[in-house]
Chain A
Amino acid sequence: MGKYEAIIGLEVHAQLLTKSKMFCACSTEFGGAPNTQVCPVCLGLPGALPVVNEKAVEYAVRMGLATNSKIAKNSVFARKNYFYPDCPKNYQISQYDTPLCSDGALYVGGRRIGIARIHLEEDAGKLIHCEDDNCSLVDMNRCGVPLVEVVSEPDIRTPEEASEYLQKLRSILRYLEICDGNMEEGSLRCDVNVSVRQEGSEWFGTRTEIKNLNSFKAVEQALHYEIGRQERILLEGGRVEHETLLWDSETGEARIMRSKEEAHDYRYFPEPDLLVLEVPGALMKRAKSAIPELPDAKEDRFVRDYNLPRYDAQVLTGSREIAGYFEAVEKALGDPKQASNWIMGEVLRELNERKIDISKFSVSAEDLADLIALQKSGKINMPTAKEIFREMVGTGGRAEKIIASKGLEQISNEKEIEQIVLKVLDAYPDEVSSYHAGKVKLLAFFIGQVMRETRGRTDPQKTASILKAVLEERR
């Protein structure tokens, strides 16, 4: 029996960063007091009618263009019918057989992942279940926030690739400035469809859908879990059922949300309250001109123009802001590899630890370039440079000032170093005797003492050679 392979497709919902909702003028801001950003339209009150937010259309067209999709001149909104208390009309306005964008693709590790469609729809409200479990409350602030749903072709083969695809998608959404990509707050949400089959087979197995994946890790874990489960079923000669599962990241398990029998019939039909959605030439032009250099193109350019390793270029271009920061540091410094090392190491670590965005980072690109330049010139050594960097992050101060105020300048004057060396050796006569008796490893000890004495400001190489010379003299 051959190996199994997984067939994976992703459905990603991205909240668009428009100021107002998809079909009314209410604010889309996150975190308002419950039910304060609502009106008759998004509450689905009797007699209210939807009107399309043109900005949302423009944003969706940007996404379509960025993924090389076909943009439909005429697309159709449709009603998706289902009853749930977070859906005030008990139908969602979405798009069905005629989406705004179709037949696109993006690339992950050189592999083409097809994008079947990108369509516009409205978000639902949020249910809050009370603790005494005898009541539920509903907050309609999110109701009607515009979403694009990006549906991939079943071209993905591994959980890792699924995660990379999602990261690439998020990166593009953020480059386009149409979605903040915040998975924790739910502005980017992902469902996966997965089936397994014997490698090389032409048929598709029965797929399951897993919902509620709100991190890249969850996508990978859930897929590993589900692929394993399906493989075991097939190995035991069983049959995978067409089910919808809900991922629980606490337990690391998926549980059945809907069986095949309970599958919804959404009874889609064209939304009679809206006209056919036309994309006017002017809108198309605006969308086109708003598309910046995208991650793939930028990555290639970083490799080509800055001679960076592919890996560096990929990490740096993962975010448009990081890439911009890198270019600013590089411009001031003139040393791409050093700039890349510092950003990929120190800067990204600080951002991760502080959970902040580069736009909120306290060290400007110019200040970082100055710091790196000081280290390169030998004025400070690397450990000191890193210490100063942390100081800069904390206080927002500039490197030169911190060095001056703390006296952290590297001591390179040989006479000065010699004075300290003599002092240290005088303090440790026993160790000096042992050294002379052949315990040469003690050199490191002496260097350490000198560093301690100068709080790390001495040049380690110069210190070593002076130490050796003085010890020889004393033999």
Chain B
Amino acid sequence: MPLNEHGLTELISLLQKKDITPLEIATDLLSAVNDKDKVLHAYLEVYGDELLDVAGRITRDGSFCEKPLCGVPIAVKDNICVEGKKTTCGSRILEDYESPYHATAIEKLIASGAIISGKTNLDEFAMGSSTENSAFGPTRNPWDLERAPGGSSGGSAAAVAAGIAPAALGSDTGGSIRQPAGFCGVVGMKPTYGTVSRYGLVAFASSFDQIGPIAKSVEDCALVLSVITGGDRKDATSTHSLTRDFTRSLEKGLEGLTVGIPKDFLKKNMDAEVEQNFDELLNLLRSHNVPIMDVSLPHSGYAVACYYIIANAEASANLARYDGVRYGYRAAEYDTLDDMYARTRGEGFGEEVQRRILLGTYVLSAGYYDAYYLKAQMVRSLIIRDFESAFEACDLLMMPTSPTPAFKLGEKVADPLLMYLSDIFTVPANLAGLPAISIPSGLSGGGLPLGIQLIGPPCKDETVLAAAYGLEREIGFDRKPNVRS
């Protein structure tokens, strides 16, 4: 088996035994990228030279296991800043922009001995659910090249699924880690809001954005999350609790946990295949005597609407800085200052980004603020309260990650509302800032992976991971896509 078919934990254990070296992993990864990524387009940039340099150096001096990640390569979504490297956010407007600094999560990864393998593709500014909104072309799903890998962290999910990155960082604003993880048959975790510093994550919607891991297993996710977690003086919204080792309590599994099912919310929104898979999982849990109960999330029907108002409002301000004045793309010809702004942004941003900026600007405008933004914030409070009362009765919620398996490229781009609804099961956790994970739960009739999502109360990331670890073992999903170049 090629080295990169292994997960992070396995690689580290092989490295610790000196059975393999970082240089072998790096070489193997680059050859796999060479093989597969021409068709997949998971990477926007591969740091081939640096990867070989660093891996070579630590292989030669034998220092590679002095740090926990032992020189394993990790891919990074291209909306997270790496010093001296392009951070395009999948946008023309930042096509040539190089970040002068590392994101905090990147500093932590490097300090823990990881090597950044490159930047992965994404929907422009993380706005989308299919990676088709990338200005640099879509990523293909390794399970079916005609299908979308999901989004917006589609590049990271596809890279991990195809074995061209042992693990990757993504960002999740409304499901952008979990949905592509589900579509690609890998594990993706969105931690509690504030767990991972957002410093250096290019903002889409600040009160939702969270960096998280995408990997081959729950244990791998727990390992990466342990490294990147922790309060950061540079991010006022990060939580200053102690850095936790999320791998420690995985063995607890589902023991002693009650799982809540928001049946009413799910019924209306799942397609038949997803529902069937979900019922099988419930039976699996019952057969292992895991207590299951119905819970109610009465306001979750408004979650998508509420999310698209608040997230776009924040985005309209967050993306205002891309104006052609100081960095990034500037229109070649213009008359006045206003004309320069208009042309730069009209030419530099893609259609979906412009749509969201317009929507966000509208809901904040005088005369509309109360009816939209303020009302949506109230609904957000109600949704948070829904979760609070649900978690009084159960420890975790379980629901499908997405209402359907991976859809075809081009299938939903013409209908933004249809696209937005593919986030219906993921946005509630972002609205409430909750920890949520997606793990593979089987294959559809068409051979596409399905994902199941576990959501926990705030700061119970450890419980969510442990439960997912237990469920992962019970499901025993071991299929891999076969990417033919």
Question: How far does the alpha carbon of A91 sit from the alpha carbon of B315 in the complex, in Å?
Answer: 12
In whole Å, how far is B249's beta carbon from the nearest beta carbon of chain A? Answer: 29
Asked if A284 is at the interface of the complex by the 8 Å CB criterion, the answer is no
Whose C-beta in chain B lies nearest to the C-beta of A90? B320
A49 touches B235 (CB 8 A): yes
B325 touches A85 (CB 8 A): yes
Tell me which of A81, A85, A267, A272 contacts B337 (CB under 8 A).
A85
B199 touches A46 (CB 8 A): no
Asked if A154 is at the interface of the complex by the 8 Å CB criterion, the answer is no
Tell me which of A46, A79, A267, A273 contacts B81 (CB under 8 A).
A46
Question: How far does the alpha carbon of A81 sit from the alpha carbon of B318 in the complex, in Å?
Answer: 10
In whole Å, how far is B227's beta carbon from the nearest beta carbon of chain A? Answer: 19
Q: In the complex, what residues of B have CB within 8 A of residue A91's CB?
A: 317, 320
B199 touches A49 (CB 8 A): yes
Interface residues of A in 283-316 (CB under 8 A from B): none
Q: In the complex, what residues of B have CB within 8 A of residue A235's CB?
A: none
A269 touches B323 (CB 8 A): no
Tell me which of B200, B313, B327 contacts A47 (CB under 8 A).
B200
A45 touches B233 (CB 8 A): no
Proximity bits, A18-62, B CB within 8 Å = 1, else 0: 000000000000000000000010011111111110000000000
A267 touches B365 (CB 8 A): yes
Question: How far does the alpha carbon of A81 sit from the alpha carbon of B320 in the complex, in Å?
Answer: 8
A49 touches B361 (CB 8 A): no
Name the residue in A47, A81, A89, A90 with the highest tally of chain B Cβ atoms < 10 Å from its Cβ: A47
Asked if B243 is at the interface of the complex by the 8 Å CB criterion, the answer is no
A47 touches B237 (CB 8 A): no
Whose C-beta in chain A lies nearest to the C-beta of B97? A46
Mostly, the A contact residues are loop
Interface residues of B in 186-211 (CB under 8 A from A): 198-203, 205-207
Asked if A257 is at the interface of the complex by the 8 Å CB criterion, the answer is no
Q: In the complex, what residues of B have CB within 8 A of residue A49's CB?
A: 198-199, 234-237
Proximity bits, B298-325, A CB within 8 Å = 1, else 0: 0000000000000001101100110101
B206 touches A267 (CB 8 A): no
Question: How far does the alpha carbon of A89 sit from the alpha carbon of B236 in the complex, in Å?
Answer: 18
Mostly, the B contact residues are loop
Asked if B364 is at the interface of the complex by the 8 Å CB criterion, the answer is yes
Asked if B425 is at the interface of the complex by the 8 Å CB criterion, the answer is no
Question: How far does the alpha carbon of A49 sit from the alpha carbon of B103 in the complex, in Å?
Answer: 11
Question: How far does the alpha carbon of A326 sit from the alpha carbon of B317 in the complex, in Å?
Answer: 53
In whole Å, how far is B328's beta carbon from the nearest beta carbon of chain A? Answer: 9
Q: In the complex, what residues of B have CB within 8 A of residue A79's CB?
A: 317
Q: In the complex, what residues of A have CB within 8 A of residue B314's CB?
A: 269, 272
In whole Å, how far is B318's beta carbon from the nearest beta carbon of chain A? Answer: 8
Q: In the complex, what residues of B have CB within 8 A of residue A83's CB?
A: 320, 323, 338, 341
Q: In the complex, what residues of B have CB within 8 A of residue A144's CB?
A: none
Tell me which of A43, A47, A265, A274 contacts B236 (CB under 8 A).
A274
In whole Å, how far is B320's beta carbon from the nearest beta carbon of chain A? Answer: 4
Question: How far does the alpha carbon of A90 sit from the alpha carbon of B327 in the complex, in Å?
Answer: 13
In whole Å, how far is A136's beta carbon from the nearest beta carbon of chain B? Answer: 9
Proximity bits, B427-438, A CB within 8 Å = 1, else 0: 000000000000
Tell me which of A44, A89, A267 contacts B364 (CB under 8 A).
A267
Question: How far does the alpha carbon of A50 sit from the alpha carbon of B198 in the complex, in Å?
Answer: 11
With contacts A83-B341, A273-B206 taken as known, whether A265 is within 8 angstroms of B320 at the C-beta atoms is no
Question: How far does the alpha carbon of A43 sit from the alpha carbon of B101 in the complex, in Å?
Answer: 13
Question: How far does the alpha carbon of A273 sit from the alpha carbon of B100 in the complex, in Å?
Answer: 21
Those 6 A-B pairs whose CB atoms lie nearest each other, nearest first: A90-B320, A272-B206, A267-B364, A272-B207, A46-B202, A47-B200
Given A85-B323, A272-B237, 10 additional A-B pairs, CB 8 A: A44-B326, A46-B81, A46-B89, A47-B80, A47-B81, A49-B198, A83-B338, A267-B364, A269-B369, A272-B206
Which residues from chain A sit less than 8 Å from chain B, CB to CB? Answer: 40, 43-52, 79, 81, 83, 85, 88-91, 138, 265, 267-269, 272-275
In the assembled complex, 6 residue pairs joining A and B whose CB atoms fall closer than 8 Å, in A order, are A45-B101, A46-B94, A81-B320, A89-B321, A90-B320, A272-B314
